[in-house]
C-alpha cells in the first residue's frame, strides 16, 4: 500500500519516517497527477496559509477534493486538519482556501503562538479499542488548532480539557468563547468521519505509531 504525504511544506518527512516504521511506503505528493498513484493521503502539519498558497499554485485543490469525495482514506494533522474542515475561524485577513469534507468548525492557531506550544497526555479509548495498547496517547501541540464544533456524523476520538490558567490565553474570539463555555472548558482535538481522520496534534513526532 502506498500512502501519499502532501509535501508542500511542514512535517511531511516525519510522516514518511513514521510510515516506514510500520512497513508502509510513503510517497511525496506535490502535483495532482501524483495522487493517482496512492491509495490514501496524509496532509501534514505546517504553516496552513503557506501550504494553501502552494496548493493553489500547483492547482491541487480540485484533485484533493476529488480524492476526499471518492472515499479514499485521508488524515490531516494540525494544519492538515484545518484544510479538511468545512469551516475555519481565526484566520488571517482574507482567509484561506479549504479542501473540506469534514463536518466541523476548526479554529486556526487556537492554542496561540509557537512559544505556547505544549505536550500533554490525552485520553484516547477508541484508539486503544481499535489498535490496542494504552488508552492514553501523547499529544504534541505546535501552534495548534482546535475543533470548536463537530457535526452529528463526526466521531470524537479525543478532547482536551483546558487548564484554568490557560483559559485566558487561548483563542478569545466570540465563537471560541461560546464553544468553550458550551463544552465546559473542553475542545475536540481528534475526530473521524467516514474516510477522514483529523488530529490537532502531531502523532508523527512521537513513538506511538497507532494513529
- For 172-195, the pLDDT digits (tens) are 677 777 777 767 788 999 999 999
- pLDDT-based confidence at 96, cuts 50/70/90? confident
Q: What is the pLDDT of residue 193?
A: 98
Tell me whether residue 142 is annotated as binding: yes
Tell me whether residue 155 is annotated as binding: no
Q: Which long-range contacts (CB under 8 A, 24 or more apart) does 28-32 make?
A: 28/4, 29/4, 29/5, 30/6, 30/58, 31/58, 31/60, 32/58, 32/59, 32/60, 32/62, 32/63
Higher-confidence position of 183 and 65 = 65
CA distance 78 to 98: 14
Q: What is the pLDDT of residue 94?
A: 59
Which H/E stretch holds residue 61? helix 61-69
Higher-confidence position of 191 and 49 = 191
Question: Which positions are catalytic?
Answer: 78, 202, 204
Whole-structure pTM value: 0.91
Tell me whether residue 48 is annotated as binding: yes
Tell me whether residue 192 is annotated as binding: no
Amino acid at each position: 500500500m502506498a500512502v501519499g504525504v502532501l509535501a508542500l511544506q511542514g512535517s511531511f518527512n516525519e510522516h514518511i519516517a513514521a510510515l516506514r516504521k510500520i512497513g508502509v511506503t510513503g510517497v511525496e505528493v506535490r502535483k495532482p497527477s501524483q495522487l493517482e498513484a496512492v491509495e490514501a493521503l496524509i496532509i501534514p502539519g505546517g504553516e496552513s496559509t503557506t501550504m494553501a498558497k502552494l496548493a493553489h499554485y500547483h492547482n491541487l485543490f480540485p484533485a484533493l477534493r476529488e480524492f476526499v469525495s471518492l472515499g479514499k482514506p485521508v488524515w490531516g494533522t494540525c494544519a492538515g486538519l484545518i484544510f479538511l474542515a468545512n469551516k475555519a475561524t481565526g484566520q488571517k485577513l482574507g482567509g484561506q482556501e479549504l479542501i473540506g469534507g469534514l463536518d466541523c468548525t476548526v479554529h486556526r492557531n487556537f492554542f496561540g503562538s509557537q512559544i505556547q506550544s505544549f505536550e500533554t497526555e490525552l485520553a484516547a479509548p477508541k484508539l486503544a479499542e481499535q489498535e490496542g495498547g494504552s488508552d492514553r496517547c501523547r499529544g504534541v501541540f505546535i501552534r495548534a488548532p482546535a475543533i470548536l464544533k463537530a457535526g452529528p456524523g463526526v466521531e470524537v476520538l479525543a478532547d482536551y480539557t483546558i487548564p484554568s490558567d490557560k483559559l485566558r490565553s487561548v483563542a478569545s474570539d466570540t465563537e471560541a468563547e461560546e464553544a468553550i463555555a458550551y463544552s465546559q472548558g473542553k475542545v475536540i482535538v481528534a475526530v473521524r468521519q467516514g474516510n477522514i481522520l483529523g488530529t490537532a496534534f502531531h502523532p508523527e513526532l512521537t513513538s506511538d505509531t497507532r494513529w
